[in-house]
Structure 1
Amino acid sequence: MFGFLPQGNAIKTCKYNPITFLPLNLFEQFKRAANFYFLVLLILQSIPQISTLSWFTTLVPLLLVLGVTAVKDLVDDIVRTLSVSKKSQTTKWKDIKVGDIIRLKKNAFVPADILLLSSSEPNSLCYVETAELDGETNLKFKMALEVTHRYLQEESALADFDGLVECEEPNNRLDKFTGTLSWRNSKYPLDADKILLRGCKMRNTDFCHGMVIFAGADTKIMKNSGRTRFKRTKIDSLMNYMCLLHFFSTCPTLPLCAPQIIVVLILLSAGLAIGHTYWEQQLGNSSWYLYDAEDSSPAYRGFLNFWGYIIVLNTMVPISLYVSVEMIRFGQSYFINWDLQMYYAEKDTAAKARTTTLNEQLGQIQYIFSDKTGTLTQNIMTFKKCCINGQRYGKLFKKHKEILQVDFSWNMYADGKFLFYDHYLIEQIKSGKEPEIHKFFFLLAICHTVMADTSDGQLHYQAASPDEGALVTAARNFGYVFLSRTQNTITISEMGIERTYDVLAILDFNSDRKRMSVIVRESSGSIKLYCKGADTVIYQRLHPRSLKREATEEALDVFANETLRTLCLCYRDISQDEFEVWNKKFMEASLATSHREEALDKVYEEIEKNLILLGATAIEDKLQDGVPETISKLSKADIKIWVLTGDKKETAENIGFSCELLTQDTTICYGEDIRQNEILLEKKKKKKKLKLKFPRTAEEKKKQTEKRRRAEAYKEQQQQNFVDLASECRAVICCRVTPKQKAMVVEMVKKYKKAITLAIGDGANDVNMIKTAHIGVGISGQEGMQAVMSSDYSFGQFRYLQRLLLVHGRWSYIRMCKFLRYFFYKNFAFTLAHIWYSFFNGFSAQTAYEDWFITVYNVLYSSLPVLLVGLFDQDVSDKLSLRFPRLYVLGQRDLLFNYKKFFISLLHGTVTSLIIFFIPYGAYLQSMGQDGEAPADYQSFAVTTASSLIFVVNFQIGLDTSYWTFINAFSVFGSIAIYFGITFDFHSAGIHVLFPALFHFTGQSWWFVVLSPVSCSFYLQEEQQWKRRQSAFRRGVSARRSAYAFSHQRGYADLISSGRGIRKRRAPLDAVLAAGDTGPGHTGHTGHTGDTGDTS
């Protein structure tokens, strides 16, 4: 029974066909704001009364952008179609419908979401590979219901199957499923372990049978194929207030959208239009040679000229800017992918930029939120110590004092890789004198969800988490070996004797419960519950008379101080009557079609009480290589690092010391110390609430509503206080946090500090945090690929984070900022010449350049040099970027692209436009050619001005380039050569019939072309020289500004590597970089006694 309309299994993976490609692709592209904007300009240009520009000046760049995007979309569509094409099947996938019974063979892809009914494996196990779903290559097992396994092995029985499935509506949760199978007058609960999802691949299973639950667009993989949340960089947000139209900012693919430039464009056009109206009123009638046989009013002509200037001046932000930004980001992403120094050879894992839109944001990170297990540590769990009945066992191996390993040769099932050094524990087990020890390891062998695999004759375990694998392996070596399980039984070898137990219920683990339990019936008929979990939840559920509580708690503290991960083990006896009553509630909750998890949690609470404590386990999880060095460098880069972990406080604190997040000089402030005064306040508030529990009047209800509103405000104030306090600390460690709380912490910092955040993790419990942060980084670890699949960037080890931020992030930020500043500069210099020309043409919207020059200026003449700077430029090498992390603060403080830099670019472009226009104008004003005629015609002036512009903008980017290569040099001089080649060709005698008359470059023209770059570059060179002199004698300047000043001086790399000073008595560069910043808001110098870490 379905609460939705079942879909067919046909899925259209291709977006286009030969007929619909052109119209559909154009429709999608014109939904992009930039393309639509330039389409409107093209339409305006086609109106003769408005435009003074030829239509091709906008059409050619627009066609170029549309064509490149169309080819990319077509290639993507073809690849997508080919990737999902399947080999011919006995039954075509499109013919499968909901409710069909299908048979799958080994290595076949699952065509729909199906309920596993039976398989060729014992107990109807089925092994699948889910790489297409979540990227994980390790095999997962699914298991059919015991009833379907027993009765649905034959095809005749499958043909007569008349079960009814009631399930949840289609959704995108790959790891969740809630349903019920009704068959033979009974109901059976269904969960994700019994569902094979579309896209999985059958492995190690000859065949299986299943019933189609979801098909086509309703399958979970298709529900996950929707759009992901778009992340915008800080530079994008800044650009939203500098470029086109504010409503364009709703377009996620266009980072260049907002009111400032369009306001300037409208104001300039309006002013020039008013000027034309005035000119028409004063001089228009006397200009008989301009008579066009139309008797229009000056106001109307001014109105038309307003739109004409909108067209002429639109090149302030040309369409090529959008394409260039995307190309730069695309190239930067590949530089990350190709970086061999971020390649983890042990697992053959390369760094991967999973998005191309956030690269420059990597250079502006202010807060890093990191998971601990698997991120800072290796997530390779090893059983090291334990506490049983208050007695601690286990010794850590020390190199300076050799300790003999325990010999497990007496155990035929022992794992040869397992190491243990406490001989007394193994003697106690062999003697059988301590029954609690046997119960302890029996619990480890029976309370888990591990699967045993003996397909190759050897016993292998497949565990859902490394912790469970380590605990079951420990029990195996100490004589309690988990051998196999079915749907309802589990078989264990106890000191060589095999016993099978009935599994009555498994109470699953989740991050909120922090524990799992199993209820089994022993051969004697007695029923026992075995439970393991975090000490915080276990101690709350212990029997009041449970022994050895204090001794075990002391052992937990000792283990935590040694950075070991701990779990408490306990059990209880259950009477038959109590179990029957509870089991009835359990079955009702298991069959619930809505809110099943909440109902089960409530039922679990009823049975998990009055527990008897057995002891605790201690598992070691070593730090990854390079973690302390990475944290140290990131801290020196003024990045605050917060560790969010579910471990207990002592473990988290000691990990903080191990990875050097905390040092001996760090003043540690605990959360409970801060909250002491707030507890009294909360108690007072609760007492006051009791008085208003049952309001009787409307006035009291109003007061209660107001009080709730104030409580919400108080809660927000508490959150802000927490963030304000924690942000003053150099490091913060949050312990005992759930996945939801991790995301909440990140969200609070984003909300109250307006800071750029990065979250890094390796497991499914880090996904929310990764998606919440501005930048999400996934580590390919031991807990699968869910974190990687949800991330923006991924790699194999935490230590690669320093290179991602300090090298690639910093370079990407500097390159993008330099690109944007220069792009605005060259377009302002190009466009504003039209305004100066307006004062000499009656404000008639005539252009200062020829039409073809305007068409290809941003495509051929000036785009390649700045594009290569955005891809390859670097002020210092990667080694120096890592050696001096303080260079990173440039991006954190928005020093290279902000409103000031933008207006400097605007001013620089304005000055350049004045020089390239008025110097030729003044020279041509009184000049005369060899033939006795004045060469000051429009064509001569336009070509001279354009030539000066090309020389100026290309030489300018050459002067601004910090890292010269042959490609950069070729782009600068090649662009100039292309310009002159096209110009001489267009003005040749051969095509004079198509273009204006032959133009000869006169002596004045060449002189202007040479003089203009020198004049325009003089101010820039003077500014650099002034900075150089100032840096020689100013002391106590911020590390950021020192680094920036040096980074743009010639010979900076040699200075750093040699340690020489530029002048005598100059402070060494190390000292300059280490100088304290006296600006406001600077906190957290390494080694400062005022630095605090917060463990809450």
Structure 2
Amino acid sequence: MSGTTSQTTKFCDNHVSTAKYGILTFLPRFLYEQIRRAANAFFLFIALMQQIPDVSPTGRYTTLVPLIFILTVAGIKEIIEDYKRHKADNTVNKKKTTGWVLLSYLYNRKYICLCAAVLCSKSAAVLSYSEPQAMCYTETSNLDGETNLKIRQGLPLTASFQSLEELMVLSGRLECEGPNRHLYDFTGTLRLENHNPAPLGPDQVLLRGAQLRNTQWVVGIVVYTGHDSKLMQNSTKAPLKRSNVERVTNMQILVLFGILLVMALVSSIGAAIWNQQHTDEACWYLSRDISLNFWYNLLTFIILYNNLIPISLLVTLEVVRFTQALFINWDTEMYYAETDTPAMARTSNLNEELGQVKYLFSDKTGTLTCNIMHFKKCTIAGITYGHFPDLDCDRSMEDFRSDTTDSISFDDPTLIQNIEKNHPTSPQICEFLTMMAVCHTVVPEREGNQIIFQASSPDEGALVKGAKSLGFVFTARTPHSVIIEAVSMFRFPVFTEFLCVAVFSVVATRATLTAHCSSLGDSLRKENELALIIDGQTLKYALSFEVRQAFLDLALSCKAVICCRVSPLQKSEIVDMVKKHVKAITLAIGDGANDVGMIQTAHVGVGISGNEGMQATNSSDYSIAQFSYLEKLLLVHGAWSYNRVTKCILYCFYKNVVLYIIEVCALIAMCKTFKGVDHLKMTILSSSVFMFPTFMVMQCWSFWLGLILVPTACLLKDVVGRRTVRKSLLEEVQELEARAVDPGAAVLRDASGRSLNERAHLLTRVFRKTPSSVGRSNSVQQTVSHGYAFSQEEHGVVSQSQVVRSYDTTRQRPSM
């Protein structure tokens, strides 16, 4: 807003970052993360001790150079992984929304923006809408996981501003509360010149992450951007995660360090005894201060035995994990072709953690379900339509997937034939189809000659589209009527039907409650596995300190726990409660920005790259395109990584222990002087690090099988088989052209054995019906029966019946 007074409040930009490191914070944070590892801390201590000439029996750089190399390799790996996070953040931050910026910035970073059916990239106080009664409808699945439509209503003071000229002359100021994490609360005041102050509440705010639905455009003032938005206020700081195997390895290293201290202590005592026995003048070069010699010898033996703890373990693990991450990225069975999305390991430090997951926390909307429904089957007057028992066995899965939403999956011609032939059930069929086209909360919108149904839920959208495919087309809605149009073959005129939503809702609710009560009574008579369902309001009290433990015990006694209408912070609190009190590996998976908190809190976070933005993917440890891919990620890659990493760790410990058993035997059995001298030459130590593991691995037959036989067999199958037995169309055409033969004369045969020339075969391939998946691609989501149910529990908003009655689709919408 414009004005002359200065503002002292500094507003942040709209940039959001989910990366672990920055340019200035990388070095200190990376070193802190590395020093947390017991092995790195130990070898740093050894490297410092080796700089003391009178103490170290080895060179000054014997440990320092390998340690620097290990840290360098780990640093390069972290830089590569964090660069991918920065790149994904830039994709989100620089993403352009469908809409226009009315006044790019007017006063001290206060924006007025104009949006049109887009994902809000900032929180804004709305001024005016295109819809009746200055209302718009938002879907907040990114915030609280709900696909329910929530109603937002503009201020009556500014609702009449419908043109650029009126908005350009606005002058005043907006006062609001500071940034906070409360999604359902907002307090502010709009002070326009020559007008009384107007209070602002949650009904007048579009939060970052919300999506406009059933609304052509809105005009608003930006109040929160970037990390000040409620979405980011509910997110948590990206943690530095460590796997359980790494923690166990640290404990094993501490045990080895204890053994090393015992060995050094015994050797120091032996050296002190030997020095005391050899105090004659022949040993004039030995110091007579026994206590000082003891401590010098102790440090010397610690340095001498330091390789009992394998310094190569860390760099070996880094290489193994990085390779395992590449295997995940290269897995073609977790590649989703519809959106060209492969699986991606955003961090390689948690590969083995995937194989130990005990508790799984999953978002529902968009993760477990896609909110896609098809009208396939119905029963009218005791007759079932839409089933094809004779075709079920013959139709493949691809045939079912090829059914688009425009050509509804309901393809039983018997229903239409019964109407045309005046079957005795014809009146019931017409009444049934009329109810399908009338009894709903769908809003029709016209784009040219096409009607687009903005459904209140997926089932409503499927029913309305099903009625349309059968001849009853829902065309318009007014505040007092619903208009449908019947196709001429039914001999029905266009007519108007009244719709009473309230009575229908009450009857449906009572019928549902009656059914549930009867089933509940039956269930109480027998022992069943229990599930717990709890909403966000109740969860607020269940997570309080007094009853938290009781709630956890109750939840753990159930087979499944379902939490509905919960905030992002509550999701992360639930995961954190189980993570701390149960001491089990947890995994959280989600696809929306409201899942970021629990994804970062869990031991392992998995993001699904879908239509709800990239926030969950950018904040996750692993990203996949479909929930079904989680099975292979956990049971194949996770289990294999856990098995391989643990064997690698044990093998590294084994080879070093074997080496230093020889060192101790040489020290005690051969010399018997307990001198702090390295009896194994550096060449032996260096070669043992590389040759000892190599010989052991090369003795295994599976190594040679995987190195030579398996790749050779795969190449033979791919190259020889496909080039001779199963040639592609392109390869055959290229071969015919190379032989200077007319490709049109080439004779092929189709699946039924009929002969086809090459061009006919090409046409059948080009013009065949391409199956379209009902997956999560953007192109599909725009046409599927994907609806949004109106929320009944929002405080201070209009009821659903008023929402439906306020619509008048026959009225001309104002344009900017």
TM-score above 0.5: yes
Amino acid corresponding to residue 53 of structure 2 in structure 1 = P
Aligned to 1:869: none
Contact (CA 8 Å) 2:591, 2:608: kept in 1 or not?
A: yes
Mapped partners of 2:345, 2:430: distance in 1: 56
Aligned to 1:195: 206
Aligned to 1:51: 56
The yes-or-no answer on 1:673 pairing with 2:526 is: yes
Aligned to 1:317: 309
The yes-or-no answer on 1:83 pairing with 2:90 is: yes
CA displacement at 1:823 relative to structure 2: 0.9
Name which of 256, 259, 283 aligns with 1:261: 256
Contact (CA 8 Å) 1:142, 1:193: kept in 2 or not?
A: no
Aligned to 2:698: 958
Q: Which moved more, 1:51-60 or 1:308-317?
A: 308-317
The CA deviation string for residues 752-772 of structure 1, in whole angstroms up to 9 with x for no partner, is 987666677778999898778
Cα 1:760/1:8, change in 2 over 3 Å = closer
Mapped partners of 1:23, 1:355: distance in 2: 18
Q: Which moved more, 1:58-67 or 1:20-29?
A: 20-29
Amino acid corresponding to residue 48 of structure 2 in structure 1 = I
CA displacement at 1:356 relative to structure 2: 2.4
Aligned to 2:124: 114
Equivalent position SS for 1:151: coil
Cα 1:746/1:38, change in 2 over 3 Å = closer
Mapped partners of 1:49, 1:739: distance in 2: 68
Aligned to 2:656: 827
Cα 1:335/1:837, change in 2 over 3 Å = same
Equivalent position SS for 2:172: coil
Cα 1:484/1:332, change in 2 over 3 Å = farther
Amino acid corresponding to residue 154 of structure 2 in structure 1 = L
CA displacement at 1:92 relative to structure 2: 13
Mapped partners of 1:538, 1:241: distance in 2: 60
Cα 1:266/1:155, change in 2 over 3 Å = farther
The yes-or-no answer on 1:169 pairing with 2:142 is: no
The yes-or-no answer on 1:102 pairing with 2:97 is: no
Cα 1:287/1:64, change in 2 over 3 Å = farther
Aligned to 1:274: 269
Mapped partners of 2:215, 2:590: distance in 1: 33
Aligned to 1:908: none
Aligned to 2:665: 836
Amino acid corresponding to residue 13 of structure 2 in structure 1 = N
Contact (CA 8 Å) 1:105, 1:207: kept in 2 or not?
A: yes
The CA deviation string for residues 98-120 of structure 1, in whole angstroms up to 9 with x for no partner, is 6x233569999987533344589
Equivalent position SS for 1:50: coil
Amino acid corresponding to residue 11 of structure 2 in structure 1 = Q
Aligned to 1:529: 502
CA displacement at 1:824 relative to structure 2: 0.9
Contact (CA 8 Å) 1:117, 1:149: kept in 2 or not?
A: yes
Mapped partners of 1:16, 1:751: distance in 2: 26
The yes-or-no answer on 1:442 pairing with 2:425 is: no
The yes-or-no answer on 1:807 pairing with 2:646 is: no
Cα 1:342/1:440, change in 2 over 3 Å = closer
The yes-or-no answer on 1:419 pairing with 2:410 is: yes
CA displacement at 1:333 relative to structure 2: 1.8
Mapping of residues 546-565 of structure 1, within 5 Å: 553=515
CA displacement at 1:263 relative to structure 2: 1.9
CA displacement at 1:335 relative to structure 2: 0.8
Mapped partners of 1:70, 1:109: distance in 2: 36
Contact (CA 8 Å) 1:385, 1:393: kept in 2 or not?
A: no
Aligned to 2:154: 145
Mapped partners of 2:679, 2:83: distance in 1: 45
Mapped partners of 1:15, 1:366: distance in 2: 26
Amino acid corresponding to residue 702 of structure 2 in structure 1 = S
Mapped partners of 2:103, 2:546: distance in 1: 62
Contact (CA 8 Å) 1:123, 1:146: kept in 2 or not?
A: no
Amino acid corresponding to residue 807 of structure 1 in structure 2 = V
Cα 1:103/1:93, change in 2 over 3 Å = closer
Aligned to 1:66: 71
Equivalent position SS for 2:55: coil
The CA deviation string for residues 279-324 of structure 1, in whole angstroms up to 9 with x for no partner, is 2222255552644xxx552122111222222333232334442232
Mapped partners of 2:21, 2:636: distance in 1: 41
Mapped partners of 1:830, 1:378: distance in 2: 57
CA displacement at 1:168 relative to structure 2: 6.7
Cα 1:843/1:213, change in 2 over 3 Å = farther
Contact (CA 8 Å) 2:379, 2:385: kept in 1 or not?
A: no
Amino acid corresponding to residue 221 of structure 2 in structure 1 = M
Cα 1:750/1:78, change in 2 over 3 Å = closer
Mapped partners of 2:463, 2:206: distance in 1: 28
Amino acid corresponding to residue 64 of structure 2 in structure 1 = L
CA displacement at 1:400 relative to structure 2: 2.8
CA displacement at 1:72 relative to structure 2: 5.1
Cα 1:103/1:775, change in 2 over 3 Å = closer
5+ residue gaps, structure 2, are 2-7, 393-404, 487-493, 531-544, 710-816
Mapping of residues 581-660 of structure 1, within 5 Å: none
Amino acid corresponding to residue 483 of structure 2 in structure 1 = S
The CA deviation string for residues 322-374 of structure 1, in whole angstroms up to 9 with x for no partner, is 23223322221221221113333345443333442332244445677888997
Mapped partners of 2:272, 2:174: distance in 1: 80
Cα 1:40/1:376, change in 2 over 3 Å = closer
Cα 1:302/1:715, change in 2 over 3 Å = same
CA displacement at 1:44 relative to structure 2: 1.9
Amino acid corresponding to residue 442 of structure 1 in structure 2 = V
Mapped partners of 1:753, 1:105: distance in 2: 46
CA displacement at 1:59 relative to structure 2: 1.5
The yes-or-no answer on 1:399 pairing with 2:389 is: yes
Amino acid corresponding to residue 649 of structure 2 in structure 1 = L
Mapped partners of 1:284, 1:192: distance in 2: 92
Aligned to 1:342: 334
Mapped partners of 1:65, 1:351: distance in 2: 28
Mapped partners of 1:399, 1:752: distance in 2: 52
The yes-or-no answer on 1:299 pairing with 2:306 is: no
Contact (CA 8 Å) 2:376, 2:408: kept in 1 or not?
A: no
Mapped partners of 1:532, 1:852: distance in 2: 84
CA displacement at 1:819 relative to structure 2: 1.0
Aligned to 1:884: none
Name which of 661, 667, 679 aligns with 1:848: 679
Aligned to 1:1002: none
Cα 1:675/1:217, change in 2 over 3 Å = closer
Mapped partners of 1:298, 1:751: distance in 2: 50
The CA deviation string for residues 446-476 of structure 1, in whole angstroms up to 9 with x for no partner, is 2xxx665544542224557534532453565
CA displacement at 1:417 relative to structure 2: 2.3
Cα 1:337/1:713, change in 2 over 3 Å = closer
5+ residue gaps, structure 1, are 244-258, 403-413, 502-521, 542-548, 558-647, 651-668, 678-708, 727-733, 864-949, 970-1096
Mapped partners of 1:772, 1:78: distance in 2: 22
Q: Which moved more, 1:416-425 or 1:349-358?
A: 416-425
Aligned to 1:481: 474
Contact (CA 8 Å) 2:697, 2:703: kept in 1 or not?
A: no
Higher RCO, 1 or 2 (CA under 8 Å, sep at least 6)?
2
Count how many residue pairs are aligned between Structure 1 and Structure 2: 645
Contact (CA 8 Å) 1:8, 1:94: kept in 2 or not?
A: no
Amino acid corresponding to residue 55 of structure 1 in structure 2 = R
Mapped partners of 1:276, 1:397: distance in 2: 91
Contact (CA 8 Å) 1:342, 1:350: kept in 2 or not?
A: yes
The CA deviation string for residues 812-860 of structure 1, in whole angstroms up to 9 with x for no partner, is 2332122112111122233444433443273343223345775xx3xxx
Equivalent position SS for 2:450: coil
Mapped partners of 1:12, 1:371: distance in 2: 22
CA displacement at 1:160 relative to structure 2: 2.6
Mapped partners of 2:22, 2:579: distance in 1: 44
The yes-or-no answer on 1:9 pairing with 2:29 is: no
CA displacement at 1:97 relative to structure 2: 3.9
Contact (CA 8 Å) 2:155, 2:204: kept in 1 or not?
A: no
